Amino acid sequence: MARIFFLFCLIAFGKDIESSSLKLDQVLMLSRHNIRTPLTSNLEKYSPQIWPSFNGSAGYLTAKGALVESYLAEYISEWLASVHFIEGCPKQEDVLVYSNTKPRTRDTAKAFTDAAFRSCNITYHHDKNIDVFDPIFFPIFHNNSEVLKQLRIEEMQSKINNTDLTESYLELNKILDLQNSNICKQESLCDLTQIKNEAVYEEGEEPNVSGALTIGNNIIDTFIMSYYEGFPNENIAWGKITTEHQWELLAKIIQLSQDVRFNLTTGAIDIAQPLLKYMSDIFQNGKPKFTMLVGHDSNLNSVISAMGFKHFELENQYETFPIGGKLVFQKWSDGTTDYLKVEYFYLTFPQLRNAEKLSVQHPPQRVLLELKDCKTDDYGYCPWSDFIKFLDNIVA
């Protein structure tokens, strides 16, 4: 009855639910690292044009990436203070910032920690063995039975076969001038629409694809990172991307690459299992108070797929899991009952390119999410007990 009256008051007086009698008790964020150099550097053969160069090795956080992450951290710190969750320096035991072992995730975690808890005695953590992927974040299949293996290959190949990317590949052909490239002259690879895509399943390795989808994904990733890094327009795909429609076409390639590999009904829970178990333990224990886990788009994709979130759209973004984006789990309480609220925090294409300073008055984008197995009210809250029951089922 108290909950019904409380919601009635919010509707009647138009109050924001986070400034009401609900209290924020716990926050867990699953984040993608921030702006990095492209993962692939040997792209010269795909175009006769000169590729722009990045400072630093492939796959490393850029200085701008660290800056943008610090702006996100400052905003999050300000938001948490505004709802009286963390004000001033927290206790060490109340905060966990934990990252994968890749340099870009470690450096993102450091940038976040330094900015969110400035002048506080808070450090970030990662596995000691930095030469290998932390098993918690490693997006591989763990159950490799022959039956599951066949089902997953079939699902991956079905996603490939049932998605028509002809228009996207033709646009990329044109931007690259692929017909005049070295790979066309030397290997007769002159048209991406003619290159077959095949699902690749290797035990102990990430799910993958061979063919035009992977080639296109690597090239477009370079275009996007060039845009985020603030390269002049003429150095982003040689100035050939001039419309939103072109970005939308190209983004379809990276979106399918992600979905084929990690958004699988036959494998997402298995891929995300170590990370889901790690998160579940934190939710079950109620400790620490604040957790930030820094991984990759593959982690966000597999976790969101495994947990069965309803479809959501990100406005002013072409990436499904943008650089620096954060899946934010929040535990709220009215003193009697606990509730879950989940949001996706992210920066728009222009916000990333311009490295816009953030604040509660000028926030990142925030999209309310809903789990299929935890029905929310009009304000995005579902019973915490339902969420815990759901978690028990998928991490069992």
pLDDT at 4 over 50: no
| Better-predicted residue by pLDDT, 5 or 59 | 59
Once rounded to an integer, what is the mean pLDDT over residues 122-133?
96
Identify the helix (H) or strand (E) that includes residue 215: helix 212-229
Query: pLDDT exceeding 70 applies to what percent of the chain?
Result: 95
Choice among 19-28, 121-130, 274-283 with the minimum mean pLDDT: 19-28
Nearest to 386 by CA among 293, 283, 299, 304: 283
pLDDT tens profile 301-354: 999 999 999 999 999 999 999 999 999 999 999 999 999 999 999 999 999 999
Strand partners, 330: 27, 341
What is the predicted pLDDT for the residue at 18?
52
CA 368 to CA 25: how far, in whole Å? 19
CATH fold of the domain at 146-261: Rossmann fold (3.40.50)
Written as six digits, the tokens of 183 are 């790979």
What is the predicted pLDDT for the residue at 1?
39
Query: pLDDT exceeding 90 applies to what percent of the chain?
Result: 92
Local confidence band at 362 (pLDDT 50, 70, 90 cut-offs): very high
Of the residues 33, 126, 270, 338, only one is catalytic, namely 33
Once rounded to an integer, what is the mean pLDDT over residues 65-72?
98
Give me the DSSP letters along 321-368.
Answer: S-TT-EEEEEEEE-SS-EEEEEEEEE--HHHHHHT----SSS--EEEE
Identify the helix (H) or strand (E) that includes residue 9: helix 2-13
CA 77 to CA 133: how far, in whole Å? 29
- Structure pTM? 0.93
pLDDT tens profile 8-22: 334 333 334 454 689
Nearest to 168 by CA among 122, 219, 134, 206: 219
What is the predicted pLDDT for the residue at 21?
83
- H and E: helices and strands count for the chain: 12, 10
Once rounded to an integer, what is the mean pLDDT over residues 239-268?
97
What is the predicted pLDDT for the residue at 42?
86
**Average per-residue pLDDT for the chain:** 93
Spell out the domain ranges in the chain: 14-39+54-140+267-395, 146-261
Of the residues 107, 114, 270, 297, only one is catalytic, namely 297
CA 122 to CA 126: how far, in whole Å? 14
In contact, 267 and 141? CB cutoff 8 Å: yes
Amino acid identity, residue 356? Answer: E
Written as six digits, the tokens of 375 are 């029905």
What is the predicted pLDDT for the residue at 20?
65
What is the predicted pLDDT for the residue at 56?
86
Architecture in CATH for domain 14-39+54-140+267-395: 3-Layer(aba) Sandwich (3.40)
pLDDT tens profile 148-204: 999 999 999 999 999 999 999 999 999 999 999 999 999 999 999 999 999 999 999
What is the predicted pLDDT for the residue at 13?
31
Strand-pair category, 208-210 with 198-200? antiparallel
Identify the helix (H) or strand (E) that includes residue 258: helix 244-262
Nearest to 49 by CA among 214, 190, 234, 226: 234
Q: Is 33 a catalytic residue?
A: yes
Once rounded to an integer, what is the mean pLDDT over residues 74-78?
97
Tell me whether the CATH fold assigned to 14-39+54-140+267-395 matches the one assigned to 146-261. yes
- Kindly report the CA angle at 345 between 69 and 65, in degrees rounded to 5? 20
User: Residue 195 burial by CB count (10 A; 0-12/13-18/19+): exposed, middle or buried?
Assistant: middle
pLDDT tens profile 169-179: 999 999 999 99
Q: Is 386 a catalytic residue?
A: no
pLDDT at 210 over 80: yes
Once rounded to an integer, what is the mean pLDDT over residues 238-248?
98
Q: Is 233 left (phi over 0), alpha (psi -120 to 50) or beta?
A: alpha
- Kindly report the CA angle at 308 between 261 and 252, in degrees rounded to 5? 40
Written as six digits, the tokens of 365 are 């984008």
